[in-house]
Structure 1
Amino acid sequence: MAVISAFSSQAPLNPSHNPMLSADLEQLDGIVGWPGGQSAVADCARAQLITSWPVEANRQAISAISVNCYSADFYHRIHISPQQLDLGNVVSAQTQDVFLWNAFLEPRTLVDIDGTDEGVLVSGQPSPPLLFPALKELTWQLTVTPDGQPVLDTVVTWEFDNGREAGLRITANRIIAWTFVPDWGDGIVEGLTAATDILQSESGVSQRRKLRGSPRREFNGAMYAEGRERQLLDLALFGWSDRIWSIPIWPDIQLLDAGIAAEVDFIPCSTQWLDFRNGGLAMLRGEDAFTSETLEILEVLPEGLQLKRNTQLAWPAGSRLYPARSAQLLEEPSLNKLTDRLFEAEVRFLVVEVCDWPKWLPATLYRGRPVWDRRPDDSENLTHAAQRLRSTLDSGFAQPLITDTARRALQVLGQRHLDLGREARALVRSFIYGMDGRQKVVWVPTHMDDLTLLAPATAVATTIDVANIGYTRFSNGKPGRRDIRIERWDGTVLMRRIIGATELDGQTERLALDAALGSDLQPADVARISWMNLMRFESDTQNIEHMTDSEGVAAWATAFREERDDEF
């Protein structure tokens, strides 16, 4: 058995004799100790003790600051995570977990959840009022659907009984899928519009500055809707024509080779030369406008699309798959009534997101600049003209004075190209992007029989004899008519500059070149000799006419205008 050494203590407050007091205190009569804990000493009345409670102290103001501690940083408040939710483009219901931690040391009552507008749902816990235990975390599920205001910017607030609040700010753009298909009889026109600032001098020299990072993109076309789809189109335009739509890129359609199940995050498909992009949209469509699903792309892979969220529906083989873009109607569509059940709608969409595309310029160079030597389609009439910078001084009385300030004709050359297949169409778009509107310049041949070779020329020759067309008289090495492209029947090409000309007789002129030909040249070997000019786009707007989908035919018509960059 253990032995513990101890003593019995006695409180100072005791009406009887207190053995804990010293001998001196035993001689006092009155109250001894502290307020609220005095001891009575009444055994001896030899002296009187006077109490002076409370004691006044000299007060002094002290400058100080309150320093937070760990407890003040984390406790006695309501924590919420996340505090802000930027959902971007909402094309389907999106759900996010929201965590609240009651960091008070006592329970709190959740009184209400405010800010749940149309299309914003909060679930996962019983409805308020709700007792929130101390030092406990609860989880809610917040769901944002495409229904509601087109632009969502709201704060969902959890309100508690002590006046404390925890808020979550939500921003999103709600997008509605445009599921009506085009009439391919008239095709779809895609417009790419850059912005270029051009300062041109009287001599024709210009300074060109690109104002947009990438062109604006538009789609124009006719849509047919019949029966119940016509009724859907009528109401959709009535209620939501001013909203942001998710439009499929109709030319880039493909059909699913194999069906996909619901709740999958990968779609096997072709992605090369198509308008899919990381972080972009894709659309699946069934046989009618009522069956569709818009998906968000996490990553574009060579073998398919990795999705941010799983699909909601199962899609059979043969379902239509498109890249999709956020777009807005530029104007109210013109509706043509064909029958009481059939509408034709002319729509014009402006893509409201940045549309980047790989840039490309030809690798073939002449005098340090790319050469656009692709032969145009000649089945339609093309522009081939010249412009002069004329300044007119007219007093209204005498004959006007007209001056050519640049003292030369600047060529304008029209071209039209027909492209077959996705690769060719993607190359044309890359060239349009590479030209940066009217900023960049390339060498462009006329692809016409401008000069006729009359005599053979050796590889070391620096002259050629051509049919007399008055070159010595009218041009003779002047800018704009001094660079030639010699194309052989076997496809090989020579490009040279004319530095002088002489008339040999009424049938022949001799042209001096800046370099030897490098190979023997026979008149029978030459397909054509064409002029070349350094040119830019005449317009910032380039239109691609998609006659069929991207595996079929598209047409692109443009005009080039000569620049004087090579002369300075």
Structure 2
Amino acid sequence: MLPSFFALGNLLDSQLRQVEVWNARDDAQALSAIQALNPDGTEISGNAMPPASFGPLESRIYNVSISSAGSAALNAVFTWVFPAEQPTLTVTAVRVIAMTFSPDWSDPPEEQLTWKTDVLRAYEGLEQRIQLLGKARRNLAFSYLFEDARQGSIFQSLVWGWQHREFAVPVWMDQAWLGLDLEPGAVVIPMATSFLDLAADQAVMLWGDHDEWEIVEVDTVTLASLNLKQPTKSAWPTGTRVVPMRLGHMPKSVEWKRDNALMAGARVEWSLDPTVGIGINRLAPSGLPLYRGYEVLTEEPDWSLDVGESAERDIDAIDFGTGLIDYDAHTDAPEFSRPFNWLIKGREAIARFMGFIDARRGRCIPFWLPTYSRDMEQSQDASASDLSVRIRNVLYSTHIVQHHNRCDLAFYPLAGAPIFRRITGSAPGGMDHEWITLDQSFGQARATSDWRCISYLSFVRLDQDSLRMVWETDDLLRASFRVKEVLL
């Protein structure tokens, strides 16, 4: 029996495999029966069904048809009954139902990435951060609009019979379209694959509508194609959607609403397979500059949303309720916290954003973030070799005095990339100005009018291990996260 075992793993669609039965003896053997134990939607066919005779050294090919309909766990055993021997074929699989309804984009899909970080904090505010998850966990939330009673009934049936089991969930925000017709039996899907959630050994869905679809498994991914493990069964025209699939579970509570007897809608948050994480093909190097060994987030925030900062100092109030109150400050500086709102347009820019976020590992890995405000103003032109720069008086030399968390600056010229410098000294200069000394000159003369703004560089980390993003379209992403300053 070659092979004698089919371990199909996750079964998303019906499969057809072949098995060879060879009479290795030098005498004829009569096949009296093919016994089936727990066939559960699996059938054997061929041109030598019993009763049949196998001549000496004769080989026969049988077709094994495995249906996607049946119980969740398939463990079928087939026995070919000969007088001398009874070879067996075992077929195992876990059936997975595909959620083929497309989302309602008027209620934008959301994606949540979750890490886990153990933050150990010392008395004086210094931190040690330990990453506890190797890969981000992903949740996808889609709204579905069922425009007729049949669609709504199908959805209810899926919830009724399969809610506690695994689904194949389309990653609709990473969909693509066929650029040409695809014939039945195709083993290659020609398409641009860059920055999409595509990977070897994962599935994709060819989708026309919720009743017309086909799931195929990817063997390899190239820049211009998907190479398939099994050929396609149907013809698919130009414009057919190609959607990556990921395994996921429904929540324990699913709600839907009815507008009338025919129409209904539901929003489902899917928990994807935690062993997979963000697809490598979906990530790109952030391309951000490095300063003192860490990335600098030089992308400006979305100023259409308010940005509110807060400063918190770790202080204990010692009060026995009968006299004076004493205050014990654990840290020598406050820790600033602020939101960062980001609107990203285009798949490549989204992939760079994903690469940056994935590298953060939630709260674990810090980075530099400019305040993007005019924290200082140069008040006198500087020559190419000047290390001392005169600025308008902001009491830097009085209250901050090169504190580790406020001695790094980002100089934003009117055109070009920002320039990063460190303050090594400061001195008062009068009522209206003071002096700062930089670790390096600008290398060219800089007038006061050269700068769009001069901002502090804050050393920060994400303030949460969970990041939720809104997909306005499949190439427009809105993300918001809060950062917290790390004391140095």
With the length of structure 2 as denominator, give the TM-score of the two structures.
0.91
1:300 corresponds in structure 2 to: 221
CA distance in 2, matches of 1:448, 1:434: 26
CA distance in 2, matches of 1:367, 1:470: 26
1:267 aligns with 2:189: yes
CA distance in 2, matches of 1:124, 1:208: 62
What secondary structure sits across from 1:100 in the alignment? strand
Letter in 2 for 1:435: R
2:477 corresponds in structure 1 to: 554
Aligned length: 482
CA distance in 1, matches of 2:31, 2:317: 85
2:426 corresponds in structure 1 to: 501
Cα pair 2:469 2:479 within 8 Å, conserved: yes
Measured against aligned partners, the alpha-carbon deviations of 1:505-554 in whole angstroms (never above 9, x if no partner) come to 1111111222223222211111001011122211111222100122xx21
Q: 1:527 aligns with which of 436, 439, 452?
A: 452
1:437 aligns with 2:358: no
What secondary structure sits across from 2:416 in the alignment? coil
1:214 corresponds in structure 2 to: 135
1:322 corresponds in structure 2 to: 243
1:82 aligns with 2:3: yes
After the TM superposition, which of the residue ranges 517-526 and 201-210 deviates more from structure 2?
201-210
1:249 corresponds in structure 2 to: 171
Q: 1:225 aligns with which of 133, 140, 146?
A: 146
2:117 corresponds in structure 1 to: 196
1:428 Cα deviation after fit: 0.9
Letter in 2 for 1:561: K
CA distance in 1, matches of 2:117, 2:408: 27
The alpha-carbon distance between structure 1 residues 387 and 133, as it changes in their structure 2 partners (threshold 3 A), is: farther
1:424 aligns with 2:349: yes
What secondary structure sits across from 2:397 in the alignment? helix
The alpha-carbon distance between structure 1 residues 151 and 201, as it changes in their structure 2 partners (threshold 3 A), is: farther
Measured against aligned partners, the alpha-carbon deviations of 1:334-381 in whole angstroms (never above 9, x if no partner) come to 101112111110111111150332363445121222211111111111
1:164 Cα deviation after fit: 5.3
Unaligned runs of 5+ in 1: 1-79
Q: 1:145 aligns with which of 67, 87, 95?
A: 67
1:487 Cα deviation after fit: 0.7
After the TM superposition, which of the residue ranges 342-351 and 429-438 deviates more from structure 2?
429-438
The alpha-carbon distance between structure 1 residues 488 and 136, as it changes in their structure 2 partners (threshold 3 A), is: same
The alpha-carbon distance between structure 1 residues 402 and 304, as it changes in their structure 2 partners (threshold 3 A), is: same
Letter in 2 for 1:558: F
Cα pair 1:480 1:533 within 8 Å, conserved: yes
CA distance in 1, matches of 2:200, 2:129: 32
2:89 corresponds in structure 1 to: 168
1:99 Cα deviation after fit: 2.8
State the superposition RMSD in angstroms.
2.5
CA distance in 2, matches of 1:232, 1:423: 37
Cα pair 2:284 2:348 within 8 Å, conserved: no
Q: 1:283 aligns with which of 205, 230, 248?
A: 205
Task: Please give the residue correspondences for 1:447-526 in structure 2 after superposition, counting only pairs within 5 Å.
Answer: 447-526=372-451
Cα pair 2:284 2:351 within 8 Å, conserved: no
Cα pair 2:287 2:352 within 8 Å, conserved: no
CA distance in 2, matches of 1:334, 1:270: 37
Cα pair 1:295 1:307 within 8 Å, conserved: yes
Cα pair 1:488 1:526 within 8 Å, conserved: yes
2:45 corresponds in structure 1 to: 123
Task: Please give the residue correspondences for 1:13-92 in structure 2 after superposition, counting only pairs within 5 Å.
Answer: 80-92=1-13
CA distance in 2, matches of 1:398, 1:165: 94
After the TM superposition, which of the residue ranges 94-103 and 156-165 deviates more from structure 2?
156-165
CA distance in 2, matches of 1:415, 1:101: 67
CA distance in 2, matches of 1:234, 1:536: 43
1:3 corresponds in structure 2 to: none
Measured against aligned partners, the alpha-carbon deviations of 1:381-400 in whole angstroms (never above 9, x if no partner) come to 12422233345666677777
What secondary structure sits across from 1:339 in the alignment? coil
1:479 Cα deviation after fit: 1.9
1:39 corresponds in structure 2 to: none
Letter in 1 for 2:479: W
The alpha-carbon distance between structure 1 residues 348 and 244, as it changes in their structure 2 partners (threshold 3 A), is: same
CA distance in 2, matches of 1:476, 1:556: 35
The alpha-carbon distance between structure 1 residues 561 and 110, as it changes in their structure 2 partners (threshold 3 A), is: farther
Cα pair 2:391 2:433 within 8 Å, conserved: yes
After the TM superposition, which of the residue ranges 430-439 and 99-108 deviates more from structure 2?
99-108
Letter in 2 for 1:304: S
Unaligned runs of 5+ in 2: none
With the length of structure 1 as denominator, give the TM-score of the two structures.
0.79
Task: Please give the residue correspondences for 1:359-398 in structure 2 after superposition, counting only pairs within 5 Å.
Answer: 360-391=285-316
The alpha-carbon distance between structure 1 residues 296 and 401, as it changes in their structure 2 partners (threshold 3 A), is: farther
Letter in 1 for 2:257: N
What secondary structure sits across from 1:141 in the alignment? strand
1:270 Cα deviation after fit: 2.1
1:133 Cα deviation after fit: 5.4
The alpha-carbon distance between structure 1 residues 400 and 237, as it changes in their structure 2 partners (threshold 3 A), is: farther
Cα pair 1:102 1:108 within 8 Å, conserved: no
Letter in 2 for 1:344: G
After the TM superposition, which of the residue ranges 250-259 and 264-273 deviates more from structure 2?
250-259
CA distance in 2, matches of 1:419, 1:475: 35
Measured against aligned partners, the alpha-carbon deviations of 1:102-161 in whole angstroms (never above 9, x if no partner) come to 456663655542324322222225555655556544433222221122233x25141646
**% same residue:** 27
The alpha-carbon distance between structure 1 residues 161 and 561, as it changes in their structure 2 partners (threshold 3 A), is: same
1:96 corresponds in structure 2 to: 17
CA distance in 2, matches of 1:250, 1:212: 26
Cα pair 2:286 2:353 within 8 Å, conserved: no
CA distance in 2, matches of 1:533, 1:515: 19
Letter in 1 for 2:184: A
The alpha-carbon distance between structure 1 residues 206 and 171, as it changes in their structure 2 partners (threshold 3 A), is: farther
Larger Rg: 1
Letter in 2 for 1:540: D
Measured against aligned partners, the alpha-carbon deviations of 1:226-255 in whole angstroms (never above 9, x if no partner) come to 113222222222222223222221122333
The alpha-carbon distance between structure 1 residues 306 and 490, as it changes in their structure 2 partners (threshold 3 A), is: same
What secondary structure sits across from 1:235 in the alignment? helix
What secondary structure sits across from 1:186 in the alignment? coil
The alpha-carbon distance between structure 1 residues 315 and 397, as it changes in their structure 2 partners (threshold 3 A), is: farther
1:260 Cα deviation after fit: 1.8
Cα pair 2:145 2:265 within 8 Å, conserved: yes
The alpha-carbon distance between structure 1 residues 102 and 116, as it changes in their structure 2 partners (threshold 3 A), is: farther
After the TM superposition, which of the residue ranges 332-341 and 143-152 deviates more from structure 2?
143-152
